[in-house]
Chain A
Amino acid sequence: DGVAVLPAPQNLSVHSTNMKHILTWSPVVVPGQTIYYSVQYQGEYESLYLSHMWIPSHWDSPIAKPECDVTDDITATVWYNFRVSATLGSQTSAWSILEHPFNRNSTVLTPPKTEVTKDGSHMVIELEDLGPHLEFNVVYWRSEPDAEERSKLIKNGGISVHLQTMEPGAKYCAKAQTLVKAIERRSAFSRVECVEVEGEALPL
């Protein structure tokens, strides 16, 4: 029976960007040996009503690296606890628990990478695909005094979206931000990108 002589992993923490949550910890080192880790989680409900209840992470254990993608474990905007144990052969360490529970509403939201192009006289934008939780608010306008800004909600990244038809000789610009309804937050805007259609401006 595995005796807990192996040290427990230390320094657990969650790094979360754009709703992708990575649990990391300091590796347990035994020279010449591969250490495997098991990760378990409990949501706020379990910690409130069933504190003994821990659920193995979706990320298949055992894990050889000192990190684990726990995105699929976190399915509600509540507090989550995580714990990790190390295994070497028949030896298993004690569990080490995340010092502060994690809530996905603290994820870091970065402006999306955008590419604004023209397809003939059409203004088109493509946004990076940041996964199922993230939508995009795109603001676009014709670059002229007192320009009217328009906005468009785009549900998925990774596809080209038509914004508007452009007139020759005019410049058109756009910027975008990520939106996450599950946590009611949005990122800063990306830098502005503009395109211009050659040719004479149409007479007024």
Chain B
Amino acid sequence: GQEFQFGFCHVQGVKLQVLRKAFGTLRDTVQAQDNTTSVRLLRKEILQNISDAESCYFIRALLKFYLKAVFRNYYRQASELRLRRALSTLTNNFLALASALQPREEDKVFSLAESARRRFLQVQGAFQQLDVEAALIKAIGEVDILLTWMEKYYQ
């Protein structure tokens, strides 16, 4: 038990409870800063009807986006020590997860990758529509939506 299975991508060693606890430390602070409550990046229609096989492509794209475009820019704002430690736990576990999510060559299906990419581009597009700071706060605030979606693939 305690492993992720995104279609044919299997990952052990990253505990969902650790991610939830780390985000729990950040949640109140970051969601209080979110002034664009009418906007949502991880919209329900994007996250629903993702086939198991497509899920690995989609989560890889999302994790890479969070690691490269979101988390690194939020460290400046997480000046409080307990927030910075929680952010470090979150980012390093996301990094461990992203590193382990490598679909095998023989499993690569272009249509699935393409479908996942289109879904991801909707998220990225909505992110880029917002002002930089607001987009950062929104994306970090929606980590719990991401974790709830990831929970479906956690055994």
Give the B-binding residues of A (Cβ under 8 A): 42-46, 48-50, 53, 55-56, 58, 73, 75-78, 181-184
Contacts and interface: CB of A to CB of B under 8 A. Distances in A.
B32 interface: no
Contact of A75 (B75, B81, B89): B89
Given A43-B91, A45-B67, A55-B81, A50 B14 contact: no
B95 A78 contact: yes
Contact of A76 (B1, B81, B96): B96
Given A46-B75, A73-B85, 15 more contacts: A42-B88, A43-B88, A43-B91, A43-B92, A44-B92, A46-B91, A49-B72, A50-B72, A50-B75, A55-B84, A55-B85, A75-B89, A76-B92, A182-B14, A184-B12
Given A56-B81, A75-B18, A75-B93, A45 B13 contact: no
Interface of A is mostly: mixed
A184 B13 CA distance: 6
Nearest to A184: B12
The 3 nearest A-B residue pairs measured at CB: A76-B92, A43-B92, A45-B91
Given A50-B75, A56-B81, A76-B89, A45 B12 contact: no
Nearest to A58: B85
Nearest to B3: A181
A181 B12 contact: yes
Contacts of B81: 55-56
Contacts of A58: 85
Q: Size class of B's contact patch?
A: 20 to 34
Contacts of B36: none
Given A78-B95, A184-B12, A45 B2 contact: no
Nearest to A74: B92
A58 B1 CA distance: 29
Contacts of A183: 13
Contacts of A45: 67, 71, 88, 91-92, 94-95
Contacts of B92: 43-46, 75-76, 78
A60 B72 CA distance: 26
A181 B13 contact: yes
Counting chain A CB atoms within 10 Å of each CB, which of B2, B13, B71 scores highest?
Answer: B13
Interface string B39-82: 00000000000000000000000000001100110010000010
B143 interface: no
B75 to A, nearest CB: 6
15 contacts: A42-B88, A44-B92, A45-B71, A46-B75, A49-B72, A50-B75, A55-B81, A75-B88, A75-B93, A76-B14, A76-B18, A78-B95, A181-B1, A183-B13, A184-B13
